[in-house]
Amino acid sequence: MVAIIGVGHSKFGNRRDVSIPELAWEAIKPALDTANIEQKDIDFFVIGTAGVWSSEAAVAPLIAEYAKLEPAGSMRVEAACATGSAAIRVGYTAIKSGEADVVLILGIEKMQESTNPIVIELIGRFGNFFWEFENFGLTFPAYYALYATAYMAKYNASEEDFARVAVKNHFYGARNPYAQFQKEITIEQALNSPYISWPFKLFDCSPITDGASAVIMVSDDKVKEWKIDERVFILSQGVGTGTANLSKRDNFTSLKSAVYAAEIAYRKAGIDIDNPCKYLDGANVHDCFTSAEIIAYEDLRFAKRGEGVELIREEQTYIGGKIPVNVDGGLKAKGHPIGATGVSQAVEAYKQLLNKAEKGRQIDVVNGKYLTHNIGGTGHYAYVTIYGLER
């Protein structure tokens, strides 16, 4: 088994106050401290970053120099918005294969180094750029709006239903000191905000974010050797891939790659695919846009097809409901620094399972299992990971 024994998280938001290595250290230092290890203990480190909007290209050596991680081996990973989870997978497989015992995973992004129009265009390259962006002008709000309108037409969902997701995630973001937006909003505020790409308004869209998050992963042998009590195991991970071109897809109310990844993760973790909420205490899902969270409920089998919208209407994804979802604010309120998001979800799984989340957003841990769902592009990549207290 592979365990997470330390975590760190920077403040998310507009971080023009720090350089890339300084931002990285904000996450690395607490990860080392909570793991009670030093840089010399790291066998291998993985940096998850898209990085196309920021100044530095050789990010791993830059951070290694600043954080005193050299000469340990390193690797840079990119998988669009699922970059953080891809980095975790590289570290996980390095430990499982016996190539490393102690691995640092860092997700980091300084998106604000470029102007918003440039960032929006660069994010568009995570789809089929020359076909969809160049010919039709699709940006990611428009990509996901295609899914949102399809869901509305098929299942009678409304703009107000999507706004309910934003209200929930801002409610919990207000209780997360690391979140980009730490203020509650009302349904009226969400519905009265300006349109970005119909049916999405401003509060339906995740922001452009700078941030870093880190985890220390170790082998089961190290857990036993170091007599580590506070740890969370990676029970399973499923990975899926979608088509680059949306015109090749026949379903716009589900992400096939996410369904595939979830089935693998559930099977490997021994979770009943038809009733996963019975086994899980909570989840983080990829709410880059509000409708994406509702679709994720169904792709992950938290609800039947067409009934995901009922979960948010009935507040069943708040703490105390059927399954708490995104009680750190999600991408919507916590922020979405592309490379850091998947690692931030792992930090949240660790904190929740060990009852270390902040006041007002700690879930009840009964089953000892937590799920994360991280999507790259519009289902171009999908990672579903199950974390647990027991092996």
How does pLDDT run across 336-349, given as a tens digit for each residue?
999 999 999 999 99
Q: Are 281 and 319 in contact (CB under 8 A)?
A: no
Q: Starting at the edge strand that comes first in sequence, how are the strands of the sheet with 73-77 ordered? A: 73-77, 44-48, 102-110, 210-219, 2-9, 232-241, 381-388, 369-376, 282-284
Please report the pLDDT score of residue 139 as a whole number.
83
Q: Are 23 and 211 in contact (CB under 8 A)?
A: yes
81 is catalytic: yes
How does pLDDT run across 203-214, given as a tens digit for each residue?
999 999 999 999
Please report the pLDDT score of residue 140 as a whole number.
86
**% of the chain with per-residue pLDDT over 90:** 90
Residue 31 has pLDDT above 90, yes or no: yes
How does pLDDT run across 55-114, given as a tens digit for each residue?
888 899 999 999 999 999 999 999 999 999 999 999 999 999 999 999 999 999 999 998
Residue 132 has pLDDT above 80, yes or no: no
Chain Cα centroid distance, residue 247: 26
Using the 8-state DSSP alphabet, how is residue 130 labeled?
Answer: I
- Mean pLDDT across the stretch 169-185? 98
Instruction: State the maximum Cα–Cα separation within the chain, in Å, rounded to a whole number.
Output: 58
- Mean pLDDT across the stretch 326-330? 98
For the domain covering 2-115+210-225, report its CATH number. 3.40.47.10
Q: Name the catalytic one among 9, 170, 336, 380.
A: 336
Which of 192, 172, 391, 191 lies closest to 283 in space, CA to CA?
A: 172
Please report the pLDDT score of residue 16 as a whole number.
94
Q: Residue 227: left (phi > 0), alpha (psi -120 to 50), or beta?
A: left
Mean pLDDT, the chain, whole residue set = 95
380 is catalytic: no
How does pLDDT run across 222-268, given as a tens digit for each residue?
999 999 999 999 999 999 999 998 889 999 999 999 999 999 999 99
- The reported pTM is 0.97
**% of the chain with per-residue pLDDT over 70:** 99
